[in-house]
Every structure is written in structure tokens, then in C-alpha cells.
Amino acid sequence: MVSGSAIATLVVFILSIICVIYPFSLPILLPYLGRKRIHINLTTAPIIAILVLWAAQCLGARNIRDGIVGTDGVKPYNILILFFSLAYMAITLDITGVLQAAAFWVSNKGGNNGWKLFLYFYMMLTALSVVLGNDPVILSGTAFLVYYTKVNELNPIAWLMSEFAAANTASMVLFVGNPTNVVICEGFRVNNAAFTAYTILPFLACIIVCFIALAAQFHKSEYLPRRLNVAGDLDVRAVLLDPRGAWVGSLLLGSCLTVIIIVSFFHVDVWEISLPFAAAKFFYDVAWDHYRYVHKIPMLGQARAKKSDENLSEVGDDIVLRQLRRHRTGIPPEEPSSTNENQRAVTSDSNAPLQVERPPFHKTTSPLLFLVKPYVTYQNYKHAFSAHFPTLYTAFPRLPFALVPFAFSQFILIEGLAHQGWIDIFARWLVAASGRQMYPTIWLVGVLGVVLCNISGTNIGATILLTKVVRAASISAPPDTDVNLEAFNRSAAIALAVSSNIGAVSFTFSASLAGLLWRQILNQKGIFIRQRTFAWWNLAPLVVMTGVGLAVVCAEMAVLY
């Protein structure tokens, strides 16, 4: 019998998911601050759900602790430390301009051939996403493609949708490419190097059929013109803001990934490897920024910044736009005058107090007047910090801090479902549907993974839930069963690895954090893609990748077992 507490837990869990997919805000009236809005979204909805369930005694302190520390070999803190370590190294590498430089190089190779450029950009984004993961590529690649299509007067939808599909599909290759991969490796005890061996063939099949589907639906010249009007090559070095930082960042990130794969055979927690490399990169960034500041060596192009505390990403975007306009018209971009450049350059007086306009209070007797001085002081410190440590100033806001409360909340909520018996119920349903047989398990888990990415918040929540369900189905098997449990677990793990990554190429933006980030960047750049449009253009790539990817997994498991 299902208890009332169990039903309440499931209902609250579903409501939190709905709030993640369709966020909203509520107006409240606060003393002195006036009318404010409380946002119920990806960050707040799961936390509110936990508080409600805790108050209703549907979950206890032990469940919350298990959701943070982990159970069944899955350690949430391990996953988050690993993810943030690699994210910091990838983002600071992107800040050097290396991704924009790669895009310029590919653009020069493609010339004025629209289809060749489309293919080359797709291949470049795929290769970068394999190494860096999807988030850094989404951050840098989306802004570049917006500028590129705008300057060349192209319809951006084909280029942006192909970028999104390539970046998310390629993240299935390395176990560090996506937090869901780490959940799978730890939950199913899959060796990190073996994970790549299992996913490389499904990835190749998916990435090829995805391009075919994209090319078929965007074949008209209104989306992909045969010829582009370009007047010359792009200057690759112009957007490489920090060549030395690019070399150091590439070396550290490459070394980190190599060491992680090697030590995976010795059962070492991966965060123990990634964290020291990220710390080394952090100390290098601090030392190198300080050295440039003391010796008045600005990053290339930083002297063109409109203000000395401008984000380096904005500086890079400005240089990209200037070069693309020259690429389009053939007219060299105007260089700022020496007088203005000297005024804008980062020099020894960059830490002079910034003259900040006071907040516009309606009355001089406002009770908030005491906030003016702290506000001005904060702006002065912000100005000095951005001048002294531009890399850190740019990198920290780009780190996915929203992932921390969301990931822990998902683990805790699913621990609550397990505590109320829902995981065992779902496991029995899976056993009844698949009989713990290999091929039905692959298709059931794979298709469910894609569907749940859309309706369970994000692919992280879907992966955690299905990992728990499959493990429960395996544990509940009687000792004398003739079912090959190793084949059952391994086939489910690889099917879930494929579906949790291609599931991000889906019908809702919230199917992945990359989707939410992608939409946010586009909205900031003035491009608004409706949910219906997003789902329509993703339909064909998702269907063919699901069918072909899971078919390849079936072939792999047939050979292995």
C-alpha cells in the first residue's frame, strides 16, 4: 500500500519539476525595500520542495544528509568538485580567446562556401565540446555565431541549432563532459576510460546522423545560402587575447584529463585529481594578472575597452565584431586614436577611485540613504579588482553556481522518493517491462531517459532517478536468477549515457543547464526563440539520434555479452 506521505512526496517532487520547466515569480511587499518579486525557478523550487517535505516529516535529516554525502557509491560532492574544477579551467581557457581564434581559423578555411562553412563549424564545435564539455562551448560559440550571422546577414536559426546539437551530443564522449556522465560512472561503477570506449561508437553514429538531419531540414537557401559575401580572411591572432595564457591553460587542462583517465584504473576519486590542477590554474591566473598589472602589460585588445573594468568577454566580443565587419566589407577596422587608447588602457592608475553615480533615491531623507556610501565603496573595489585581476573578474560570473543548490536538491528529493518506497516501485515496473533482458532494457532506459530529460527538470535529475531505479531493479533480483545482471547493468548504464546527453537536444530548454544558458545568451543578444520553434527544429535530430544511438549500443552489448 502507498501511504499518504509517499503520495505527498511524489506530488511535491512533480510540482518542483513543473516550476523548473515553467519558472514564475510572486510579488511581495517588504519594509523599506518596497514591492519585490520572489522567483520560483531552477534554483529555488527544489529547495522550497525540500523544506515543505521536511516540515511535513515526509523526509528526515538522514535523507538530507544522504543526498549531500551520497549513497550507493554516488558522491554528489565528488561530482560538483570535479565539474567546477574542469569548468574553471575551460572557462579561463576560453577567456584567452582560443575558441574565437579557432572559429576564425575555421571561417577562413570555409571561405565563402555556405555549406562548407556549416560543416566546418559543426566539426569544430563537436571537437571542442569533446574536450571542453558543452557549457564553455555554448558560452563562447553562441555569442560568436550571433555576431557572425548578423554581420553576414544570415538566418541564425540553422547555425544556432546545429551548434546546440553538436555541443550537447559531443559531451557524451568523456565521462567529464557532462555531470550526468559522472553520475553514471559512479552509480554503475563504470571505469572512466571504459566509459569512453563504450560511448565513442554511439557518439560517432549520433553526430553523423544528427548532421544529416540538420542538413536536410535546413537545406533551403533561406537558411544556408550557397555563397557568402566575404572580402578577405579573418585575423586569427586578433582575437587571441592572451597567447601565453592559452598555452598554459591548454597544457593544464589536457594534462588533467590525461591523468584522470590513467588513475581511473586505480579507483581514485576524480576530484582529488581535478582540484589540484584547477588550483594550479587559479594561482597561475592570479600571478599572471598581477604581473601584467605591475608591468603595465594589458591583454591584447584590452586597451580598446570602453572602460577599464569592462568584462574581458565584452572586450573579446568587440574585437570579434570589428574583425567580422572587416571580413564582410574588406575595409580595415578603425583603430582608436592614441589619445583615447592611452585613456582607456589599463595602466598604473587603474585602481584610482571610480566616480560612481549615486543611486537615484526619490527623497534625500530616504531610510536607504545610508546605503549610498557602501554602494560607492563596492563599485570602487569592483573597479580596482577588474583592473588588477581581469581573468578572475571575467571567469567567476560565468561559473555555473546555480548547479550547486540544484544538484544537491535533486539528490535529496530522490532520496526522499527512495525513503517513501517510490524507487522500489519504479524498479518493479522496469523489471516487469524488461524482464531484466538486455535489449528491452536498452530501449526502455534509453527512451525513458530522453523523455525524462524533458519532464524531470533537467537531464541531471533524470539521470539520478534512472540510476537509482536500475540499481534497485538489479539488487532485487533473486540469487538463483539466470539473468546476466552484469549485462543488465552495463547495457542500462550505456543507454542512459547516450540518452542523457542527446536528451538535452530536446523539446524544452530546461532539459539541460546548457539549454537554459543558451536561451539566456540569445535573449541578451536580442534573439528570441520560442519553445515551439526550439522543439520543432530539434525533433528530427533527436529522433534519429535516439534510434541510431541505441541501436549501436545494442550492437556493442551483443558483441560483449
Reduced 3-state DSSP string for 178-194: CHHHHHHHHHCCCCHHH
Q: Could you give the maximum distance between any two Cα atoms of the chain, in Å? A: 84
Share of the chain above pLDDT 70, in %: 84
What is the helix (H) or strand (E) element at residue 36, kind and residue range?
strand 34-40
C-alpha 387/C-alpha 314 separation (Å) is 14
What's the rounded Cα separation, in Å, for the pair 302 and 300? 6
104-114 average pLDDT score: 85
* Maximum mean pLDDT: which of 22-26, 185-189, 426-430: 426-430
- pLDDT band of 280, cuts 50, 70, 90: very high
Distance, CA of 401 to CA of 409 (rounded, Å) = 13
Q: Give which of 486, 484, 495, 483 is closest to 444, Cα–Cα.
A: 495
Question: According to DSSP H, which parts of 269-389 are helical?
Answer: 271-294, 312-329, 338-344, 372-388
pLDDT tens column, 19-34: 888 888 888 887 777 7
User: What nine digits make up the cell of 237?
Assistant: 591572432
CB 390 within 8 A of CB 286: no
Please check the confidence at residue 504 and state whether its pLDDT lies above 50. yes
C-alpha distances out from residue 491 to 179, 204, 415, 495, 515, Å: 19, 18, 24, 6, 27
Confidence of residue 541 (pLDDT cuts 50, 70, 90): very high
Residue 171: exposed, middle, or buried by beta-carbon count in 10 A (0-12, 13-18, 19+)? buried
How far apart CA 515 and CA 511 sit, in angstroms, is 7
Task: Name the band, by pLDDT with cuts 50, 70 and 90, for residue 286.
Answer: very high
| DSSP at 509 | G
Q: Answer with the residue of higher pLDDT: 103 or 378.
A: 103
Residue-wise DSSP of 217-266:
HT-STTTS-SB----S---GGGG-S-HHHHHHHHHHHHHHHHHHHHHGGG
b/e per residue 146-164 (b: at least 16 CB within 10 A)? bbbbebbebebbbbbbbbb
CA dihedral 177, 180, 183, 187 (to 10 degrees): -120
Q: Is the pLDDT of residue 267 over 70?
A: yes
Identify the burial level of 286 via C-beta atoms within 10 angstroms of its C-beta, where 0-12 means exposed, 13-18 middle and 19 or more buried.
middle
343 vs 454, which has greater pLDDT?
454
Helix (H) and strand (E) counts for the chain?
A: 23, 2
3-state secondary structure of 338: helix
Question: Residue type at 229?
Answer: N
The mean per-residue pLDDT over the stretch 52-66 comes to: 89
Phi first, then psi, for residue 220 (nearest 5°) are: -70, 150
Residue 479 phi/psi, 5-degree rounding, is -60, -30
Cβ-based neighbour number of residue 43 at 10 Å: 17
